[in-house]
Amino acid sequence: MSSSSSSSSSTTTTTTTTTTTNVKIQNEYLKNDETDYLYHLGLDSSMDLKSMFSDVRFVCMGGSASRALKIAQRLCKELNVFEGLPAGLDVATIGKTERYSMYKVGPVVSVNHGMGMPSLSILLHETTKLLHYAGAKDVMFIRVGTSGGIGIEGGTVLLTTAALNGELDELFTLYVLGEKRQWPATIDADVVEEIRQVARAQCPSVKVVTGKTLGTDCFYEGQGRLDGAICEYTEHDKFAFLKRLHALGVCNIEMEASLFAAFTRRLGIRAALINVALLNRLHGDQVTSTSAQLSQFTDDAISIMIAYINSKLTNQG
């Protein structure tokens, strides 16, 4: 992997590679002989992380703690690697749970990241260091989440090809040491195609599309909603914005995609974004589906993720 560091307002370019060895970190200040406290996870590098996590191949991330638990419980039942086990499996959290709830089911970690990029950022940094210290190899990160569709109906699953920032560029923007830094926020096209094919074959009743995702820092004004406590634009402005997004190939809006895509790309970690739409924002702003429908929407996105993980574990051993 090659990369060049950016200066103020510039774009850092990083080529994509598939991880074939240990999970990498890019920080010369982290010395192997000093304990690194992964504070929000309640773990540290002096623990025997190798015996706990060296076999991890997938990290599944979703917003809420209940989704992380649901994914872990489904993995216990549905992962091919457990077929034929004489007894069932149960899950328990690892580390502390004030902020994030982490489970490990065979070679798969399920953990929630909270809402939005600041919360996701902490989890990405600490989970990546955890897997680096553990010596885990060929790890893939998958976010399975919810979103507001643009021109796609509630229940449609979108496989993200690229994530846009607030300026509608396919970049993730972060202010570092008082300077604006930006990195490409695209997802490996081969990964998107692999998941699309698995979904088509194994979850034929779920509508799956590919397209771009807008990652915002705000559910209301940042996503052009008219139903926040403050709204300083008109309905006309809102629809002009949504139509502009649609014309750019954006099919949904959520609050994590650009960071997730850029962070994993910078470290050469295989990654996928599987987001189900809760509603079509061209028809309204409020999420009005029943809780049973919303639960089915999320279950469908999780089914695709587990089918994909099973296909990779079966093919690669």
- Residues lying near ligand URA in the complex (CB under 6 A) are found at 146-148, 219, 223, 253-255, 278
Contact 265, 258 (CB under 8 A): no
Q: For the chain, how big is the Rg over CA atoms in Å?
A: 19
Contact 163, 212 (CB under 8 A): yes
Least gap, CB of 35 to ligand URA (angstroms) = 37
* Of 82 and 219, CB closest to ligand URA: 219
- Helix, strand or coil, per DSSP, at residue 315: helix
* Of 63 and 106, CB closest to ligand URA: 63
* Of 71 and 255, CB closest to ligand URA: 255
Least gap, CB of 233 to ligand URA (angstroms) = 17
Least gap, CB of 114 to ligand URA (angstroms) = 13
Measured from each CB, the residue nearest to ligand URA is: 148
Least gap, CB of 150 to ligand URA (angstroms) = 10
Q: Return d(Cα 233, Cα 224) in angstroms, integer.
A: 8
* Of 216 and 310, CB closest to ligand URA: 216
Q: Which residues pair with 175 in a beta bridge?
A: 180
Q: Return d(Cα 253, Cα 148) in angstroms, integer.
A: 5
Least gap, CB of 261 to ligand URA (angstroms) = 16
Question: What beta strand segments (E) does 150-206 contain?
Answer: 157-164, 171-176, 179-184
Token pair for 17: 């590679």
* Of 75 and 253, CB closest to ligand URA: 253
